[in-house]
Structure 1
Amino acid sequence: MSMTDLLNAEDIKKAVGAFTAVDSFDHKKFFQMVGLKKKSPDDIKKVFHILDKDKSGFIEEDELGFILKGFSPDARDLSVKETKTLMAAGDKDGDGKIGVDEFSSLVAES
């Protein structure tokens, strides 16, 4: 399954394009622009599993830096600052990684 099976390719392109400048990434705006906010809880979980590259059941900080690439292969990596900000927003239990429920909550906050 790919991101375009779940989300509109044009929405992905626009959302990724809106955050090309370093330190411009805003997860709330991004999740809204990409259409994730309107998706069912089941679809949000499917997106999580696509972003969980090592299939550990969590998105760790190193995977989080490549989150935009999960939506579009030619997207940029997040900066260290953006990655840490996103981790702080998503990691509710403080274990240094984002689980599927935490990811769903992060999207719901958007």
Structure 2
Amino acid sequence: MAMTDLLSAEDIKKAVGAFSAAESFNYKKFFEMVGLKKKSPEDVKKVFHILDKDQSGFIEEEELKFVLKGFTPEGRDLSDKETKALLAAGDKDGDGKIGADATLASESC
């Protein structure tokens, strides 16, 4: 399954472009711009599984660094600071990874 099976290619392009500058990533605005806020919990989980490159059931810090590339190959890598901020927002139990049940993409975008 491709990200564009769930989200608009145009919305993805605009969202990735909006955060192309280093240290500009805001996960709440990004997830809103790509349309995740309007998606069902099932669709959000499908997006999660696309981003979970090693299919471990978790998105670890190393995978988060490449989250924009998970939406489109033209996306940039997140900085260490941006990656850590995104992990802190989604890691509800403090285990250093985000589980499929995390509501990072759908909560208060």
What TM bracket, shorter-length normalisation?
over 0.9
CA distances 1:56-80 after superposition (whole Å, capped 9, x unpaired)? 0000000000000000011100000
2:46 is the counterpart of 1:46: yes
Normalising to structure 1: TM-score of the pair? 0.97
Report the Cα offset of residue 109 of structure 1.
Answer: 2.4
* Offset of residue 106 of structure 1: 1.0
Q: Distance in 2 between the 1:78 and 1:69 partners?
A: 9
Write out aligned runs for 1:79-94 (5 A): 79-94=79-94
How large is the Cα RMSD of the aligned pairs?
0.5
Residue 3 (str. 1) matches residue 3 (str. 2) = yes
Q: What's the CA shift for 1:45?
A: 0.4
Name the CA distance, whole Å, in 2 between partners of 1:50 and 1:23. Answer: 24
Which 5+ residue runs of structure 2 have no aligned equivalent? none
Amino acid at match of 1:44: V
Give structure 1 stretches of 5+ with no counterpart.
none
Which residue of the partner structure matches residue 106 of structure 1? 104
State percent identity of aligned pairs.
Answer: 75
The separation in 2 between residues aligned to 1:80 and 1:22, in whole angstroms, is 11
- Counterparts of 2:11 and 2:49, CA distance in 1: 20
Matches within 5 A, 1:58-73: 58-73=58-73
SS at 2:104 equivalent: helix
List structure 1 runs of 4+ shifted beyond 3 angstroms.
Answer: none
SS of alignment partner, residue 106 of structure 1 = coil
One-letter amino acid of the structure 2 residue matched with residue 86 of structure 1: L
TM-score (norm 2): 0.97
